[in-house]
Each structure stands twice: as C-alpha cells, then as structure tokens.
C-alpha cells in the first residue's frame, strides 16, 4: 500500500475520499432516540458543530479553534476531545493528538460509543505516525471492539500491521520517519461526522 501524502495542498483530495469512507460509518448507537448529554450548553454544542463543519471543509486550524472553544466550556467532553485529537492528527501534531485522545478515553464515557471509538482510532492514528506500531494496532483493536464495522479502524490496523512487519525486517535508519497516509484525515473527519448526529439531537 503506497502512503498518500495529505499535507498542505494534498488535503483537499484526502478530505473528499475521507468523506466517502465516513458515509458508511454509523455515528449513532441510539437510532432515532435523542441522547441527553449532561452539562452541555448550546454554546459548547454550537462550537463543536462548527468545528466539525470546518474540519470536513479542510479548514483545520479554524476547526481546532472552535473545538477548543467547546472544550473551554466543557473540558471533559469526550466527543470534543476525540474530535480535537483527529484534527491535531490531520495537522501533523501527533503527540498532542495522542494527549487529546488519551484525555477522551480517560473520561470513561459510555453513553456515546462513537465518541470512544473515535478516540481510540485517533489515538491509533497518532501512534502510527509516532512509530509505535504495536500500540497503534492495540488502539485500533479497541476501536473495533466498540464498532466492528469502522472502516477507518480496519485501515489503520492494516497499515500499522504492515509497518510493524516492515520495521522488523528493515535495516535500522535513524532518520527514517513514519510515512504519511490519509489515516489522520479519516480520523478527524470520522469524529467530525458525529456533529451531524449531535445536531439532530438538538432539534
């Protein structure tokens, strides 16, 4: 599998492909029943939704600002933390993305399974780019345990497995970097897609 470069001008192509993949990912485990999220305000939800829209449009820095506004109001909101991790991955801020994903997972939220699945897959994406392939496989496996149909998790697990196999047989190269793939953008937009579901809950 040849990695796809999603940096700079290449983001637009990756965004379109990621949106196609997201269309097949279920974003609500509650069917048509609204899920009440305790402690959230309209301001935090609106900031989250705007961040999701901006991320899906490829305006990643602006998306990060709006997502952080949501978190300034509700610091332990797992859905926004997972979205933040995905956006940070897409911006190439992998260590920061790992921290955000870990924070989302640490909330222990279970009422929105998609939030936890998104956090685990964004954690896996960050770990791939940090060269921690086995940890990435484990995180993708966690995501699949929550949602076995998640294509982004299947892709990340496959990529991490191949890279782990390659690293075991390759000669050491100190300056070698983890290849850039479309996986971080998929992770960012997977979580951003949940904004659509959240808007439905508000109605």
143, 117 Cβ separation under 8 angstroms:
yes
Query: Mind listing the pLDDT tens digit for each residue in 60-114?
Result: 999 999 999 999 999 999 999 999 999 999 999 999 999 999 999 999 877 688 8
> Which percentage of the chain shows pLDDT scores above 90?
57
Minimum mean pLDDT among 50-59, 73-82, 133-142, 178-187: which range? 178-187
Instruction: For residue 181, give the nearest of 51, 89, 81 by alpha carbon.
Output: 89
25, 70, 76, 107, 175 from 102: Cα distances, Å: 22, 18, 11, 9, 27
Residue 194 included in any domain: yes
CATH number reported for the structural domain that contains residue 18 in this entry: 1.25.40.10
Coil, strand or helix at 76: coil
Selected residue with higher pLDDT from 18 and 79: 79
Residue 2 included in any domain: no
Residue 1 included in any domain: no
pLDDT of residue 120 exceeding 70: yes
The domain total for the chain is 1
Q: Which residue has the tokens 């190269």?
A: 173
Residue 197 included in any domain: yes
pLDDT band at 16 (very low <50, low <70, confident <90, very high): very low
Residue 3 included in any domain: no
pLDDT at 165: 94
pLDDT of residue 133 exceeding 90: yes
Q: Please count the other Cβ atoms lying within 10 Å of the Cβ belonging to residue 113.
A: 15
Residue 125 included in any domain: yes
**Half-sphere exposure of 109 toward its Cβ, with a 13 Å CA cutoff?**
27
Instruction: For residue 203, give the nearest of 42, 5, 13, 25 by alpha carbon.
Output: 42
pLDDT band at 116 (very low <50, low <70, confident <90, very high): very high
Residue 31 included in any domain: no
> Which percentage of the chain shows pLDDT scores above 70?
64
How far apart CA 164 and CA 23 sit, in angstroms, is 29
143, 173 Cβ separation under 8 angstroms:
no
Range of the domain at 87: 8-25+39-169+178-202
pLDDT band at 171 (very low <50, low <70, confident <90, very high): low
DSSP assignment of 137-163: HHHHHHHHHH-TT-HHHHHHHHHHHHH
């Amino acid at each position: 599998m040849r990695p796809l470069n999603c940096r700079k001008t290449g983001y637009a192509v990756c965004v379109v492909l990621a949106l196609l993949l997201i269309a097949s990912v279920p974003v609500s485990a509650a069917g048509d029943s609204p899920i009440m999220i305790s402690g959230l305000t309209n301001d935090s939800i609106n900031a989250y939704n705007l961040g999701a829209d901006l991320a899906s449009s490829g305006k990643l820095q602006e998306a990060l600002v709006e997502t952080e506004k949501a978190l300034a109001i509700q610091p332990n909101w797992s859905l926004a933390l997972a979205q933040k991790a995905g956006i940070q991955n897409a911006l190439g801020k992998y260590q920061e993305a790992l921290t955000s994903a870990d924070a989302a997972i640490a909330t222990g939220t279970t009422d929105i399974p998609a939030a936890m699945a998104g956090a685990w897959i964004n954690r896996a994406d960050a770990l791939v780019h940090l060269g921690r392939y086995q940890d990435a496989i484990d995180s993708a496996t966690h995501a699949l345990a929550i949602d076995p149909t998640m294509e982004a998790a299947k892709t990340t697990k496959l990529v991490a497995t191949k890279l782990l196999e390659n690293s075991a047989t390759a000669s050491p190269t100190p300056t070698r970097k983890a290849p850039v793939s479309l996986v971080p953008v998929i992770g960012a937009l997977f979580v951003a897609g949940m904004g659509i579901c959240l808007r439905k809950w508000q109605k």
